Amino acid sequence: MLVVFFEQHGVEEKESFHSFKLSNQTFPLHFHRAYELIIVNQGELLVTIDQKEYVLNEHDIAFVFNNQTHEFKTIDQSEVTIVIFSPELIGHFFMNYKGFIPENNVIRLERSPNIEDLTSIYRQKSFLYDICGTLVESTTFIPVEHSTKTKVLHKMLLFVDKNYSEDCTLKTAAKHLQYDYAYLSKLFVQMTNMTFSEYLSHYRVSQACYLLKNSQQSVSEIAMNCGFNNLRSFNRSFKKITSQSPRKYRELA
């Protein structure tokens, strides 16, 4: 699944570096311990990091720090490279800026890097430290605010990540996390600008998009595996979010 985005990355090994390309993709709010680079090779991308919106164009890079909540949406068309890497890979930078986040997460390069050329850990580290240097020169850093609301939101996002394929509702989340239902409902809208059910639908559809492109499962199987009760509700949600049917999406993939 799309777990490559999520919190388990950056902890499975001391020095991990993962990269992959995405075309015309949208991905809902998430966070993880690893750092993430969102590199726009072509097109335009709307990236939201800790509720701050950035519009990225060709050669722009969003440098997402560990545990910053973030999401991205394609504007018309986009070709993007995602790089996810553990803090240990840039240990010196990580120790110096631990507890801080950039005031501006976006930097611009003269040209998009060819990540496929980074065939050794030494080239990977050289590239990453160069990006770190550019970031330090282009912005200031501010202390991370470990608010109670942020911690609760993280718990809710993790709950969806683990339970989206089953009976995943705000009621079950409130019971599992031992928080008041009304409090969680209000907090989620405040922190994400969408309801819990809206976020869940976006998350489930994003998982379905991956399976439609990368598996041989039938549309019905994918619908069930992504937590939809029936094919009708899956088709309706999928078309609402992607503007096309699951079958059409698979044909164009």
Do 148-252 and 2-143 fall under one CATH topology? no
* Strand partners of residue 239: none
Q: From residue 35, how far is each of 114, 123, 144, 211 by CA, in Å?
A: 19, 17, 15, 25
First to last CA, the chain: 16
Sorted by sequence, the CB contacts under 8 Å of residue 65 that are 6+ apart come out as 35, 97, 101, 102, 105
> To 5 degrees, how large is the angle CA 241–CA 29–CA 113?
95
Sorted by sequence, the CB contacts under 8 Å of residue 5 that are 6+ apart come out as 27, 30, 32, 36, 82, 84
pLDDT digits (tens, 9 = 90+) for 193-251: 899 999 999 999 999 998 998 899 999 999 999 999 999 999 999 999 999 999 999 99
Q: Which CATH class is domain 148-252?
A: mainly alpha
Alpha carbon distance 144, 54 (integer Å):
19
Q: Is the pLDDT of residue 187 over 80?
A: yes
Task: Name the amino acid, one letter, at 216.
Answer: Q
pLDDT digits (tens, 9 = 90+) for 55-70: 999 999 999 999 899 9
Domain definitions of the chain by residue range: 2-143, 148-252
Topology, domain 2-143: Jelly Rolls (2.60.120)
pLDDT digits (tens, 9 = 90+) for 127-186: 999 999 999 999 999 999 878 899 999 999 999 999 999 989 999 999 999 999 999 999
Mark out the alpha helices in the chain (DSSP H runs). Answer: 91-96, 121-138, 148-163, 170-177, 181-192, 196-214, 219-225, 231-242, 246-252
Does 171 or 252 have the greater pLDDT score?
A: 171
